[in-house]
């Protein structure tokens, strides 16, 4: 007979999911109620308000899609892209490629603007693409590229799109809660995120927000949205906020309890404080890594504090090292993807997991395994270097 499943207690420092606090895990265990229960409808309204706070927006169409971040991505594209629409897609990592796939599956035409993995999206290249394709309908880009640890200038890219009369779709899966996200100030038309990164909630929900121009485009569609489940005109009937809500799907009740709790925690800390915490822990981690003799794959001005891309030293067995960290230290870090596979590690400091204990634990474990592999690193320097940064707090 199969017995109950009890997972090991890991320290999650990869590209996601991130560590989940006991408060959020406790929220998951609360009694399940109906998805049309009046009490649950009140919770839905609170979640919308808390997401508006996190996104820094007054958009009425702000809600959690009942599926992971990839569904949030698809929700934005299937609702805004119609057959024949031209979409400039910026790719400087894995997830720009997924945007391209979404455009093409919607029948749109993807105009690719490509930058090297490890570099931000080039504003100049995007401007040139607009000049070459003046009939562009949408600009799509990733704010925080999870595959590389690079931040692009979302404010400048949205301003450029607005100057050309073009809508924007922005991937904020790894940025929301970790670095500044300002939907209304930047003029973002559609943005999606995920719960398992800097919000430190369980995976399986994707917050999205659509501005007025995006909503107008959705309402003006002449071609039916290819996804019934993600059709915002249908979903709005459930999440719209009117006193009478239309049944659309059975929402993941307990996961939404967890999201509510994680957003309450973000509100309690404050966005500025959360961003500062992520940055401070990032600086301590980088100080320790560099004191050890390891290099970073991304220039300082473009680095994500919540996703650190580290160069793998010559002669180190990437897979064996990550396996040793997992098996001996219950510590998960991420492998490189795409062109960076086998060249980098991705070390996450996201949400609840962005703390001093995790920084020091990761440095200590990483040094121990690297020394065992015979890597040419400097021992005994990483922890003092990190402590020196923490001492400046």
List, for residues 18-42, the tens digit of each pLDDT value: 999 999 999 999 999 999 899 999 9
The structure tokens listed for 8 are: 């090991």
Closest C-alpha among 305, 261, 225 to residue 43: 261
Give the start-to-end residue ranges of the domains of the chain. 21-268, 272-390
Quickly name the fold that domain 272-390 has. 3.90.1150
Whether the predicted pLDDT of 244 surpasses 80: no
* pLDDT given at position 243: 58
Strand order in the sheet with 206-210: 61-65, 206-210, 190-192, 167-171, 138-142, 86-91, 109-114
Q: pLDDT > 90: what percent of the chain?
A: 96
The structure tokens listed for 212 are: 């007025």
Distance CA(348)–CA(216), nearest Å, equals: 37
Q: Is the peptide bond before 115 cis (omega within 30 degrees of 0)?
A: no
Question: Is 272-390 the same fold as 21-268?
Answer: no
pLDDT digits (tens, 9 = 90+) for 150-184: 999 999 999 999 999 999 999 999 999 999 999 99
Q: What is the mean pLDDT of the chain?
A: 96
Question: Could you tell me the pLDDT band of residue 381, with boundaries at 50, 70 and 90?
Answer: very high
* pLDDT given at position 240: 78
The CATH code of the domain at 21-268 is 3.40.640.10
- Torsion-angle region of residue 109: left (phi > 0), alpha (psi -120 to 50) or beta? beta
Distance CA(365)–CA(238), nearest Å, equals: 48
Whether the predicted pLDDT of 242 surpasses 70: no
pTM above 0.85, yes or no: yes
DSSP letter assigned to residue 339: G
Whether the predicted pLDDT of 364 surpasses 70: yes
Distance CA(342)–CA(201), nearest Å, equals: 29
**Mean pLDDT calculated for residue range 278-292:** 98
Contact status, residue 242 vs residue 231, Cβ threshold 8 Å:
no
Q: Phi, psi at residue 384, to the nearest 5°?
A: -60, -40
């Amino acid at each position: 007979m199969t017995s109950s499943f009890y997972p090991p207690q890991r320290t999650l420092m990869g590209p996601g999911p991130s560590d989940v606090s006991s408060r959020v895990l406790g929220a998951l265990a609360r009694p399940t109620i109906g998805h049309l229960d009046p009490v649950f409808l009140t919770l839905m309204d609170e979640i919308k308000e808390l997401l508006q706070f996190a996104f820094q927006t007054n958009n009425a169409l702000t809600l959690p899609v009942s599926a992971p971040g990839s569904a949030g991505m698809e929700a934005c594209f299937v609702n805004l892209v119609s057959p024949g629409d031209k979409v400039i897609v910026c790719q400087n990592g894995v997830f720009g490629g997924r945007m391209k796939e979404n455009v093409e599956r919607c029948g749109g035409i993807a105009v690719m603007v490509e930058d090297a993995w490890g570099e931000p999206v080039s504003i100049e290249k995007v401007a040139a693409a607009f000049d070459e394709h003046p009939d562009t309908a949408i600009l799509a880009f990733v704010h925080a590229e999870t595959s590389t640890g690079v931040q692009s200038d979302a404010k400048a890219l949205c301003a450029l799109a607005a100057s050309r009369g073009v809508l924007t779709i922005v991937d904020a899966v790894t940025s929301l809660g970790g670095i500044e996200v300002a939907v209304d100030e930047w003029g973002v038309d559609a943005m999606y995120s995920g719960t398992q990164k800097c919000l430190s909630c369980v995976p399986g929900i994707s917050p999205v927000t659509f501005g007025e121009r995006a909503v107008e485009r959705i309402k003006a569609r002449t071609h039916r949205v290819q996804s019934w489940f993600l059709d915002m005109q249908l979903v709005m009937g459930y999440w719209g906020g009117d006193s009478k809500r239309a049944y659309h799907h059975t929402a993941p009740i307990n996961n939404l309890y967890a999201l509510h709790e994680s957003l309450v925690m973000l509100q309690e800390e404050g966005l500025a404080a959360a961003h500062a915490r992520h940055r401070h822990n990032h600086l301590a981690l980088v100080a320790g890594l560099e004191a050890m003799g390891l290099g970073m794959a991304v220039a300082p001005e473009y680095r994500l504090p919540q996703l650190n891309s580290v160069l793998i030293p010559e002669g180190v067995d990437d897979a064996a090292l990550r396996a040793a960290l997992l098996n001996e230290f219950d510590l998960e870090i991420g492998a490189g993807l795409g062109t960076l596979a086998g060249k980098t590690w991705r070390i996450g400091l996201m949400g609840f997991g962005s703390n001093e204990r995790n920084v020091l634990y990761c440095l200590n474990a990483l040094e121990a395994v690297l020394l065992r592999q015979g890597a040419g690193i400097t021992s005994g320097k990483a922890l003092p270097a990190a402590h020196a940064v923490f001492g400046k707090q």
